[in-house]
Amino acid sequence: MRVSLKTWVVLALAGLTAAAPSVHTVKVKETTRVPRGWTKRDKAPRDLLIDLRIAIPQSNFPALEQHLWEISDPFNERYGAHLSHEEVNELIAPHPESVGAVDAWLAEHGLTEADIARSPAGDWVKVRVPVGKVENMLDATYHVYEHADGSTLVRTTSYGLPEHLHAHVEFIQPTTLFSRFRPNKATFHFSQAVSAAPAEENAPAISVPSASGGSVDASCNTNITVTCLKQLYNAVGYTPLANTGNQVAATGYLEEFASFSDLQLFFKSQVPAAVNSSFNVISINGGLNNQTEPGGEANLDTQFLFGITHPIPATFFTTGGRPPFIPDIGSTENTNEPYLDWLDFILNTPHPPQTISTSYADDEQTVPVNFAQRVCQGFAQLGAKGVSLTFSSGDGGVGDGDPDPATQECITNDGRNKTEFLPLFPPSCPFVTAVGGTIHVPETAVDFSGGGFSNVFDRPLFQAVAVPEFLEKLAPGTFKGLFNPNGRAIPDVAAQADNFLVFIDGEEFHIGGTSAAAPTFAGFVSLLNDARIRAGKSSLGFLNPLIYSIGLVHTGAFNDITTGNNPGCGTEGFNATAGWDPVTGFGTPNFGILKEIVLALP
């Protein structure tokens, strides 16, 4: 059959139209200012591969949140009735219309189902695409940004989407996220240890009525060990079991590796019963655990967390990828999104460890609000499945996480250039337990203990009594305009945070920071889980409603810290006081009393 020229042209144009992306009105989805400390460098290489993560709105998160409040409330008849992995996924699955809209948009840009990775619930979509394609998809321009500390990120300060997609996409990253996610370790407290002086070794024990046996070794005033912590927090003589199904874990990022040989030296010195035991390593995104490069943060976390909890099965999550990305060395992949990779993994794990400790965070203001809220919802999902998450509250007092007061800026990044106290994220998420720091015996607040009030998250219901009580104690006008009195307050609790004896590369050192407090508190949470599981009960899961209920009505369950403060931003910071305070929360744990309380719960 002969086809006329006119018909051929019409058919050819129709084919071209079908193959080309549809024409949609593109509207800016998100913009950001470049945070202080970052400098824009060259344009990002167009062939650089980026794992583009697309957050699709969760259809019924309010229902999941309601479940979480009920199963975490010790006064609710549903307490401890955690949801299954499948039940959680069903509640957060996105609406089919949103999934279809996003899939159609990806298809318009030549991406097929084979190119797409989805979370089990379908609320996250990930595609690996080169910068050049991302710029076309998002109407954006990516550059390499360098921080004053030498770290670099590939980012854009603005991106857009077809207008019809805005209702179906919460956000896309990496785009405007300038968080560095660094360890909460006060490195200026890192010093090689010296043996206790003979006078100290022979000194009488320190009287601490709440401690095991009513006293603590005098050496604990300068050298914190597992024995010191068990004495101080009333856990001497409690031995957990290895075969109950209880698990505990620490997270590692930025090429912080945990040494097996250093762990054995630590066990030989502090936990002889644990010698020849170890921990499992789970690699995420190619994470390594290089035994020739032990890290102080990773060794601190694993030695103390797993020393307190031995013989509970232990896991070290090592997640690959770290800044800086250096585009001139031939790298074709952007690998500086390790935290998102860990979150992807743990949310996709049907039976994660019941207690997970993390000692990394960043300034809350460097995290886009929509990203912070969605990540926080991910923590809620873990809580609903029975996981307790502890995060160190930071080492900058009320400041920006910088442990050196001389270099703290405490200036907002939103264009106002206003002086404010700057909390950290993820500790500011209400669905995690933020752990502040203490020092010495008897305990006092350590001066670098991070604390304050979120500028992103409102005060949660579990803080409705304790936090206003603290605010009422402040003199009128105290720090007016420097903090958000209606925000989620941190920390929730505290633990020792300085003079921890750890082994690194075969040598013994002191390390300080709330990086030590988070695994310490998590260790005692894992012991409480052991007690509950042995009694045929569920794990504790999301802790905060229980902590605030106990803190308000059970005298002695937490050791109330009433001295010390957390200076920063050119101020003396908040004071530790009776009851909850934004330096040490409700205080440090009394394991013996807490064990009796949690065993009395359903």
Residue 400 annotated as binding site: no
Which residues neighbour 32 within 8 Å (Cβ) at sequence distance 6 or greater? 157, 158, 176, 178, 368
Tokens of 595: 């064990």
Where is 16: in which H helix or E strand?
helix 5-19
Whether the link from the prior residue into 442 is cis, omega within 30° of 0, is yes
Pair (29, 142) in one structural domain: yes
Residue 511 annotated as binding site: no
Pair (132, 241) in one structural domain: no
Tell which residue, 451, 447, 404, has the closest CA to residue 428. Answer: 451
pLDDT tens profile 414-430: 778 899 999 999 999 99
Tokens of 472: 């009422």
**Quick check: 5 pLDDT over 50?**
no
Greater confidence (11 vs 516) lies with 516
Q: What is the mean pLDDT of the chain?
A: 91
Select from 130, 152, 178 the last residue of a domain: 178
Pair (65, 204) in one structural domain: no
**Quick check: 251 pLDDT over 50?**
yes
Give the residue numbers annotated as catalytic, written as ranges.
297, 301, 515
**Quick check: 14 pLDDT over 90?**
no
The rounded distance, in Å, linking the Cα atoms of 53 and 170 is: 11
pLDDT score, position 140: 98
pLDDT score, position 201: 64
pLDDT tens profile 169-178: 999 999 999 8
pLDDT tens profile 556-599: 999 999 999 999 999 999 999 999 999 999 999 999 999 999 99
Pair (174, 212) in one structural domain: no
**Quick check: 82 pLDDT over 80?**
yes
**Quick check: 293 pLDDT over 90?**
yes
Report if residue 519 sits inside a domain.
yes
Tell which residue, 494, 499, 435, has the closest CA to residue 221. Answer: 499
The rounded distance, in Å, linking the Cα atoms of 181 and 361 is: 5
Pair (370, 465) in one structural domain: yes
pLDDT exceeding 70 applies to what percent of the chain? 90
Report if residue 82 sits inside a domain.
no
Report if residue 402 sits inside a domain.
yes
Where is 442: in which H helix or E strand?
none
Pair (506, 429) in one structural domain: yes
Report if residue 539 sits inside a domain.
yes
pLDDT band for position 2 (cuts 50, 70, 90): very low
Cβ 464 vs Cβ 419: under 8 Å: no
The rounded distance, in Å, linking the Cα atoms of 137 and 197 is: 65
The rounded distance, in Å, linking the Cα atoms of 295 and 466 is: 38
The rounded distance, in Å, linking the Cα atoms of 86 and 83 is: 8
Helix (H, G, I), strand (E, B) or coil at 125: strand
Pair (238, 354) in one structural domain: yes
Tell which residue, 226, 257, 255, 282, has the closest CA to residue 523. Answer: 226
Residue entry with tokens 């996709």: 348
Select from 178, 204, 231 the last residue of a domain: 178
pLDDT score, position 574: 98
**Quick check: 547 pLDDT over 60?**
yes
The rounded distance, in Å, linking the Cα atoms of 101 and 109 is: 13
pLDDT score, position 188: 38
Report if residue 590 sits inside a domain.
yes
pLDDT score, position 443: 98
Residue 561 annotated as binding site: yes
Report if residue 315 sits inside a domain.
no
The rounded distance, in Å, linking the Cα atoms of 282 and 289 is: 9
pLDDT score, position 185: 65
CA 281-285-288 angle, to 5 degrees, is 45
pLDDT score, position 341: 86
The rounded distance, in Å, linking the Cα atoms of 276 and 289 is: 18
Please list, residue by residue across 209-240, b when 16 or more beta carbons sit within 10 angstroms of its beta carbon and e when fewer do. ebbbeebbbbbbbbbbbbbbbbbbbbbeebeb
109 DSSP assignment? T
**Quick check: 437 pLDDT over 50?**
yes
pLDDT tens profile 330-385: 455 655 578 888 998 999 999 999 999 999 998 899 899 999 999 999 999 999 99
pLDDT score, position 8: 43
pLDDT tens profile 148-188: 888 888 999 999 999 999 999 999 999 999 888 888 765 43
pLDDT exceeding 90 applies to what percent of the chain? 81
Tokens of 165: 């997609």
Which residues neighbour 180 within 8 Å (Cβ) at sequence distance 6 or greater? 147, 149, 151, 323, 362, 366
**Quick check: 49 pLDDT over 50?**
yes
Pair (158, 216) in one structural domain: no
**Quick check: 323 pLDDT over 70?**
no
Cβ 433 vs Cβ 521: under 8 Å: yes
Q: Report how many domains make up the chain.
A: 2
Pair (376, 349) in one structural domain: yes
Pair (131, 195) in one structural domain: no
pLDDT tens profile 223-233: 999 999 999 99
Task: Tell me the three-class secondary structure of 362-408, residue by residue.
Answer: EEHHHCCHHHHHHHHHHHHHHHHCCCEEEEECCCCCCCCCCCCHHHC
pLDDT score, position 403: 74
pLDDT band for position 322 (cuts 50, 70, 90): low
Cβ 310 vs Cβ 330: under 8 Å: no
Tokens of 563: 């001295």
- Count CA atoms closer than 13 A to 263's CA, side-chain side: 27
Cβ 274 vs Cβ 311: under 8 Å: yes
Alpha helices in 429-575 (DSSP H): 466-473, 514-534, 544-553
Q: What is the DSSP string of 231-276?
A: HHTT-TT----SSSS--EEEEE-TT-B--HHHHHHHHHHH-GGGTT
Select from 178, 198, 216 the last residue of a domain: 178
Tokens of 215: 């006293």
Pair (172, 200) in one structural domain: no
Greater confidence (202 vs 442) lies with 442
Report if residue 334 sits inside a domain.
no
Q: What are the angstrom distances between the C-alpha of 451 and each of 51, 296, 380, 413, 494? A: 34, 24, 22, 20, 11
**Quick check: 521 pLDDT over 70?**
yes
Pair (170, 193) in one structural domain: no
Residue 123 annotated as binding site: no
Alpha helices in 41-180 (DSSP H): 61-72, 85-92, 96-108, 131-138
CATH of the domain at 571: 3.40.50.200
Tokens of 31: 């913009």
Where is 507: in which H helix or E strand?
strand 507-511
**Quick check: 19 pLDDT over 70?**
no
- Which domain does 429 fall in, by range? 187-260+345-600
- Give the pairing type, strands 215-216 and 280-284: unpaired
Q: What is the DSSP string of 297-346?
A: HHHHHHHHHHHHHTTS-EEEEEE---SPP-GGGT--B----HHHHHHHHH
**Quick check: 409 pLDDT over 90?**
no
Report if residue 12 sits inside a domain.
no
Tokens of 312: 């509970």
